[in-house]
Structure 1
Amino acid sequence: MLNSGRQGHTKFAGIAIFILLILWLYKLNAGGFLLPTRELTEKSGQENADSPDSEAILTLGETIETAAKSKPISDAAESPDAKSKNPTGGKKHEKTVIMGKTHSEDATWVKEKLPGWRPVIYAVDNRTEEDYLHVLVNKGKESMPYLTYMIDFYDDLSDVNVFIHAHENGYPRAWHNDPQSADYSAVKMLELLRLDNIREKGYVNLRCNPNPGCPAELRPQKKIFDKDSIEIGWKKLWEHIHGNDQYPESVGVACCAQFAVTREKIHEKPKEYYEKLMDWLLTTDEQDAGRVFEYFWHIIFGMPAVHCESGYRNCICEVYDCTAGAGKKRSLNKLVMKRAV
C-alpha cells in the first residue's frame, strides 16, 4: 500500500512537471524566443516561391541574359507591365500597399479589407493571372516585386508606400507581423500603422520585435564564411552598388523585409539607382538573393548598417497607434493580443 501511494505521488508529480514545462515553452514562444525560421515558413506551402514560370523562361530568358548585361539600366529593369498597365490612372494616392504573390496565395483580402489603400500586387510565378501585375522573372522572393514597383512607379509613388508579404494572417506563416494580434493579422497591422510617423522618419521597419535580425545578424568583415552564409551575397551587392569593399563591421535589422517608405525617401536616389539594384538581382547567381536584400533595404533608405530599435514597447507605440478615444493610452497587452475583427 505504501509503495502504491508513492508511485501515485510520483506519477502526479511527473504530470505536473510536464504541464509546467509546456506552459514555460509557450511563454517563451509568445515572447519571441522561439520563432519559426523564415526559411521554414517560406518552404511551407510555397515550394515554387522562387522558381520561374515556364512562360517567363521562354519569353524573358534572352532579355535577362543579354539586356541585363549590356543595357541593364534601360531594358532589363523594366517589367512587362511598365508601359501597358498602370492601375493608378494618373490619380495621386496617399498610401499604397505593395506585395508579390505566388499562384497558391490568395491576395483578394487586400481589396476587400483595405479599401483606403491603393493595391499594387504582382503575381510572381503565373503570368496568366490578369488581375495582377507581373515581374520580369520570379527571383529573389519579395525583392523582385518591391524593386519592380520602385522602378515602374517611380513617377507615380504614393505619399506612403508600404511593402509587405501576401499572408493575410495565421501562424506560423505570418508570425513576423507586428503588433502580434491573436491571428497575426496584416489587416490590423496596416489599420494601426501611424502614417505621421512614417512621414516624419521617411523609412520605418514594420517589425519592432528585434528577434531575429538584431543586434548583428551579419558580420561582413569576417575572413571565413560558411558556403551558405548570407554575408557572401551581401558583400557582392555592396560592391555592386558602392564600388568598394569598405563593408560595415556589423549589419542588423529586425526581420523580415516588411517596411514603409515615403515618396520623398525613395526619390532621394535617382531611378537609375533602383535599376542598378535590379540589374544585380537579375544577374546574380546567389541562391538566396531575397535574404541578401532583407538586410540591405534599410541601408538603401539611409539607415545605419545596424538599425535596431532600443525598446520594443516604445517602438510599438511609435510605429502603431496605441491611443484610443480621447487620447487615452490603450493597454499594450490589449493592443498586442487583440484579435483582428
Structure 2
Amino acid sequence: MRLSYRVGAAALIIFAIILIKRHLDLIQDDAQVQSGWHFGSFTGESSDSSSSSSNGNTDTASTKPKSKPKLTGDKTPDDYVNGNQKDDALASRPVYETTPIIVPNDRVIVMAKLASEDTSWVSSDLNEWRNVIYTVDDQTASRHTPKNKGRESLAYLQYIVDHYHDLPSTLIFLHSHKDGWPGAWHTDTMAYSNVDSIRALQTDFVQQNGYANLRCQQTPGCPEEIRPFREPAQSGKTTESVYAQAWVELFNNTDVPEVVAVACCSQFAVSKAQVLQRPLEDYQRYYDWVLNNRLSDDLTAHVMEYTWHIIFGQDPVYCPDAYQCYSDVYGNPYFW
C-alpha cells in the first residue's frame, strides 16, 4: 500500500513539474515578442526600436517588430525609395471596393402651388429631376412666397434670386397640375401630361437655344398677342393696355416693342447660361415689380406670361413653326 502511495505521489510531482516548465516557456516566449500595435500616436505606426538578443547583439532583420496593418492612404517614410513608392508596399496594402458618389442630376423643376394642391407626383413621377416647390398662399409652409401675387411669377423669380449663384444647368418652370382636361389643357401631349412632356424634353436643345417654350401650339399667344400702342386697344386685351408701362418699369427703358407674341402659358425651360446673361439685379427688379405693383394678380401674371421669353433672350415675337418646335423641344415633329 505504501508503495502505491509513493508511486502516485511521484507521478503527481512529475506532472506538476511538466506544467510549471511549459508555463515558464510561454512566459519567456511572450517576453521576447513585442506588440505590433503602437498607441503612442494617432497613425498607429509601430515603434522603430529594435529588441536586443540575449548575446547583446542587435539583429534588426529578425527582431524588428511587425507593423500594424496599414489602411488605404496611409504612408510612411519607409514606403518610398528615391521619391517612389515601393511596389511591395503597394502590394501589401488592402484593396477596398468603392462605390462612387452619384451627384444629383444638375437640373431642377421649379413650381408654384396652392396649399390645397397635391404635387407629390413631381417627386414620384419625375424623380430624375430635383424639384423646388413654393406654396403661394400659406406663409407657414416650409417653402413659400411672401404673398400670392402674379400666380406662378413670384415663385419663378424667387428661385432665380435665391439661387442665382448656384443654378443647375437646366431649369424647368412648370405648373402644379399633372395632367388631364381641362386643368392641363395647354400641355402639349395626347393626355395633356406634364410628366410625358418633361420626360420627352430635349435638354440639348434647351442648352443650345437657351430657352424653350413647353407649348408648341401657337394659340393662344401667336402671331401678335399684344400690340402695346394699338389705338384703340382691342376689346378684351386688358394686358395690352398696361403692357407699355409695365415694360418701362420692368426693363427700365422705353424701348417698348410694337408687337409681343409667344405661345401661352408660362411653362418653359431655360439654361443656366441664359439666366446668367442678365445680372442678379435685373431679376431682383422683376421680383419687386411682381410683388409690389398695383395691378391685379391676374393682370400681373399675364404681363409676365408675355415677357418671360424676352427676359431669356428671345425676340419679342417668338412663334416658331409648331412642327419645328415639336422636333426641337420634344424630338418628334408629331409629338402631339
Maintained 8 Å contact 2:139/2:146: no
Match runs of 1:52-201 below 5 Å: 93-130=105-142, 133-178=143-188, 180-181=189-190, 183-201=191-209
Q: C-alpha separation between the residues in 1 aligned to 2:242 and 2:265?
A: 17
Q: C-alpha separation between the residues in 1 aligned to 2:134 and 2:283?
A: 18
Q: Which residue of 1 aligns with 2:272?
A: 263
1:289 equivalent to 2:297? Answer no
Maintained 8 Å contact 1:194/1:318: yes
Q: C-alpha separation between the residues in 1 aligned to 2:245 and 2:151?
A: 18
Name which of 218, 222, 236 aligns with 2:226.
218
TM superposition shift of 1:92: 6.7
Q: C-alpha separation between the residues in 2 aligned to 1:296 and 1:104?
A: 28
Q: C-alpha separation between the residues in 2 aligned to 1:223 and 1:92?
A: 52
Q: Spell out, residue by residue over 1:94-152, the C-alpha distance to the aligned partner (whole angstroms, 9 max, x if none).
A: 2100110002211000001111101010011112333xx11111100010100001101
Name which of 269, 287, 311 aligns with 1:300.
311
Residues paired across the two proteins, number: 231
Name which of 272, 276, 284 aligns with 1:275.
284
Maintained 8 Å contact 2:170/2:269: yes
Q: C-alpha separation between the residues in 1 aligned to 2:306 and 2:158?
A: 18
Partner SS state of residue 257, structure 2? coil
* TM-score under structure 2 length normalisation: 0.66
Specify the code of the residue in structure 1 equivalent to 2:166: D
Q: C-alpha separation between the residues in 1 aligned to 2:218 and 2:136?
A: 29
Q: C-alpha separation between the residues in 2 aligned to 1:260 and 1:167?
A: 17
Root mean square deviation, CA, Å: 1.7
TM superposition shift of 1:228: 6.5
Q: Which residue of 2 aligns with 1:43?
A: none
TM superposition shift of 1:246: 3.0
Partner SS state of residue 260, structure 1? strand
Q: Which residue of 2 aligns with 1:241?
A: 250
Query: Relative to 1, partners in 2 of residues 1:248 and 1:120: Cα closer, same or farther, differing over 3 Å?
Result: same
User: More relative contact order in 1 or in 2 (CA 8 Å, sep 6+)?
Assistant: 1
Q: C-alpha separation between the residues in 1 aligned to 2:310 and 2:145?
A: 24
Q: C-alpha separation between the residues in 2 aligned to 1:281 and 1:299?
A: 16
Q: C-alpha separation between the residues in 1 aligned to 2:236 and 2:179?
A: 34
Partner SS state of residue 184, structure 2? coil
Maintained 8 Å contact 1:214/1:308: yes
Of residues 277-286 and 218-227 in structure 1, the stretch that sits farther from structure 2 once superposed is: 218-227
Maintained 8 Å contact 1:93/1:159: no
Maintained 8 Å contact 1:161/1:261: yes
Q: C-alpha separation between the residues in 1 aligned to 2:253 and 2:126?
A: 43
TM superposition shift of 1:227: 8.4
Partner SS state of residue 175, structure 1? coil
Q: Which residue of 2 aligns with 1:76?
A: none
Q: C-alpha separation between the residues in 2 aligned to 1:317 and 1:165?
A: 22
Q: C-alpha separation between the residues in 1 aligned to 2:154 and 2:241?
A: 20
Specify the code of the residue in structure 1 equivalent to 2:281: E
Of residues 151-160 and 243-252 in structure 1, the stretch that sits farther from structure 2 once superposed is: 243-252
Q: C-alpha separation between the residues in 2 aligned to 1:92 and 1:153?
A: 16
Specify the code of the residue in structure 1 equivalent to 2:278: K
Specify the code of the residue in structure 2 equivalent to 1:213: G
Q: C-alpha separation between the residues in 1 aligned to 2:237 and 2:206?
A: 35
Specify the code of the residue in structure 2 equivalent to 1:143: S
